[in-house]
Structure 1
Amino acid sequence: MKLKNGSRRIVGLGSALVDVLVNESDDFIRKIGVEKGGMTLVDLPTLEKVMADASTEPSIVPGGSACNTAVGVGCLGGQARFVGKRGSDDTGQFFHQGLVERGVDPLLMTSELPTGRVLSIITPDAQRTMLTYLGASADTQPEEITPDCFADSALVHMEGYLLFNPDLMTASLKAAKDAGALISLDLASFTVVEQSKALLDDIIERYVDVLIANEDEALAYTGIKDENEALAQLARHVDVAVLKVGARGSYIQHDGRAYRIPAQGSGAAVDTTGAGDLWASGFLYGLVNGFGHEHSGRLASACGFEVCQVVGADIPADAWTRIRKQLEE
């Protein structure tokens, strides 16, 4: 993939959310009436009620899909920035400080609304179901996202959840292109894809260079179950297409050639929260540093494996040490 400038900086653009993680049963998911494995937007009272009904003590870390990816890049030793909007509250300050501590340059606007939160409900099969209160992040205005947000950046990584705000998504894509950056898009959730198909068709063809999807998202977008055919469909209008297939690894297609990347590690997943986000960290870090698609895919698999060994998307320091050793190989 040809970079358009000499920078190696990766910018994550998305919702500034604090992750609240709880372990619950499938019965709990059924009780609250949401689709398992999906993402549901809720208001703050609803979120707080579900949190109060949870039977386990929550753990809390800075989160949000594109934010997790930026944090991963920073922990790999890369140049990382996150652009988003937080509240002028203690939760927002916690979010800001968490980015700094993880090697990410925070470019955060502030709002009078509370900082957004996402409740990740982790079931015994390690799958996560999310209830999201966007809060301040939903207050981001299209005119606030300018090319200056992406100055001196090689690539801007956008989360598919931005599709819920079409004007903001379109303005952000234009600003990133005007800044001379490449654009990667993670489709984020099958629920996002199902509700945004027409807009996706337009922006993928016009703006996106790297498209990342898992099996459910690819099926929702292409309507194709066969993995090879779905990958080819994803790759029609982009330079690089990725299809992640969980414990079986991933497929990467570039310039008509497909690469099969096996999953790494043998331990059972504890929690899949952030698995796709951290996979993207390794892959995009590799691409902007010239590793090639297969090497980047292997680094991505290492990041994805390690985050599944912990609760939440915050990989511990010793695991990052193991991952960084792959950069020396």
Structure 2
Amino acid sequence: MPSNTITGIGSALVDVLINETDEFLHKLNKEKGGMTYVTSAEQQDIISASSQIPVIVPGGAACNTILGVGNLGGTARFIGARGEDEYGDIFEDKVWECQVEPVLSYFDTPTGKVLSIVTPDAQRSMFTDLGASSLLDPADVTSQMFSDTTIALVEGYLLFNRELMMAAVKAAKAAGALVALDLASFEVVNASQDILPDLVKEYVDILIANEDEAKAYTGESDETAALEKLSVNVTYAVLKVGSRGSYIWHNNTVTRIEPVKGNAPVDTTGAGDLWAAGFLYGIANGLSIEKSGRLGSMCGYEVCQVMGAQIPEQVWEKIRATIEEQTPSK
């Protein structure tokens, strides 16, 4: 039988989350919703300037997705680098807890952290110190790491480390995996215009973007036009449009996925990552486009009901139960 393993490669990070006002964010001269690289000291300055108590949870875009796959009951693996410190222990313990196989390199450098400022509209703006997560050596990324992998999820933020990005996609392809790329942030796309089209054409099978990322990548604000350009040279193209749901292109057919209706979001941290978890789980396990998209929408909704990207186990139980209820046959 073919494997249905989903392997992710990306930054092993710990999320530090703070609820704050728009004014607080404005004082930091930070554009809402994006990601900025900072030093550990700069992170601490921001934390000190806030009167709020931070919430600390494991994070990292690809890791969030892969932990979601594990929590859904899928076969999953995560490749990354951590520090030999308490934060690194917290991170690795969580990976095992979610039934995910960790393939981690260890360094003396502290484990990377993402400080997320969550404003009253539930949007998060990220300040990232990659720490040890940036030290993964491209030469150490081999096709063996992607053995028995159906889908290899490559974190979009690796575009800031182009040697590692190329090593990852080449190793995944050599292993025979489909390569999924989540564009991660409009700032990532804007900084990578010189490499992205060729990278997608040569290596990417599944391209995932939200509205801002799609506009940066395609130059199109119109959803139909953006999705059409996203679909060029790939097998699956995904355009997520927030509270309005998502669109999935495959075999010249567009499937619209309705959003899950319910409570207002508490925090959108991990919304796209967990959407990808549900969708990729579905594709890897032979579910239809519509069923895979619905599962993604459900995971994306539920993670917005909590602070951080870790859905509580009792909610995962509910989601796992609906997989059988909503998808009685493949």
**Counterpart amino acid of 2:241?**
V
The equivalent of 1:13 in structure 2 is 9
The equivalent of 1:324 in structure 2 is 320
The equivalent of 1:133 in structure 2 is 129
The equivalent of 2:328 in structure 1 is none
- 1:165 pairs with 2:171: no
- 1:294 pairs with 2:290: yes
The equivalent of 1:41 in structure 2 is 37
**Counterpart amino acid of 1:283?**
F
- 1:233 pairs with 2:232: no
- 1:307 pairs with 2:308: no
Identity of aligned residues (%): 56
The equivalent of 1:214 in structure 2 is 210
3-state DSSP class of the match of 2:195? helix
- 1:71 pairs with 2:87: no
Match of 1:284 among 267, 275, 280: 280
Task: Give CA deviations for 1:207-245 in whole Å, capped at 9, x if unaligned.
Answer: 000000000000001010110110010001100000000
User: Unaligned stretches of 5+ in structure 2?
Assistant: 326-330
1:317 CA drift (Å):
1.4
Give the Cα separation in 1 of the matches to 2:262 and 2:300.
12
Task: Give CA deviations for 1:98-124 in whole Å, capped at 9, x if unaligned.
Answer: 111111111110112110000011000
**Counterpart amino acid of 2:77?**
R
Give the Cα separation in 1 of the matches to 2:281 and 2:44.
36
- 1:91 pairs with 2:79: no
Give the Cα separation in 1 of the matches to 2:321 and 2:248.
23
Match of 1:188 among 184, 190, 194: 184
The equivalent of 1:256 in structure 2 is 252
Give the Cα separation in 2 of the matches to 1:288 and 1:139.
30
**Counterpart amino acid of 1:242?**
V
The equivalent of 1:113 in structure 2 is 109
**TM-align CA RMSD:** 0.9
Give the Cα separation in 1 of the matches to 2:99 and 2:23.
39
Give the Cα separation in 2 of the matches to 1:24 and 1:173.
38
The equivalent of 1:265 in structure 2 is 261
1:152 CA drift (Å):
1.2
Give the Cα separation in 2 of the matches to 1:38 and 1:245.
16
Give the Cα separation in 1 of the matches to 2:130 and 2:246.
30
3-state DSSP class of the match of 1:221? helix
1:85 CA drift (Å):
0.3
User: Which stretch shows the higher mean deviation, 92-101 or 116-125?
Assistant: 92-101
- 1:25 pairs with 2:25: no
Give the Cα separation in 2 of the matches to 1:253 and 1:78.
24
Task: Give CA deviations for 1:269-298 in whole Å, capped at 9, x if unaligned.
Answer: 111000000000000000010101111000
- The number of equivalent residue pairs is 325
3-state DSSP class of the match of 1:158? strand
The equivalent of 1:224 in structure 2 is 220
Give the Cα separation in 2 of the matches to 1:326 and 1:99.
24
**Counterpart amino acid of 2:308?**
G
**Counterpart amino acid of 1:115?**
T
The equivalent of 1:81 in structure 2 is 77
Task: Give CA deviations for 1:179-220 in whole Å, capped at 9, x if unaligned.
Answer: 111110000000000000121111100000000000000000
User: Which stretch shows the higher mean deviation, 69-78 or 98-107?
Assistant: 98-107
Task: Give CA deviations for 1:114-146 in whole Å, capped at 9, x if unaligned.
Answer: 100000110000000000000001111110111
TM-score with structure 1 length normalisation?
Answer: 0.97
Give the Cα separation in 1 of the matches to 2:149 and 2:256.
29
1:52 CA drift (Å):
1.7
1:31 CA drift (Å):
1.2
**Counterpart amino acid of 1:167?**
E
The equivalent of 2:120 in structure 1 is 124
3-state DSSP class of the match of 1:197? coil
User: Unaligned stretches of 5+ in structure 1?
Assistant: none
TM-score with structure 2 length normalisation?
Answer: 0.97
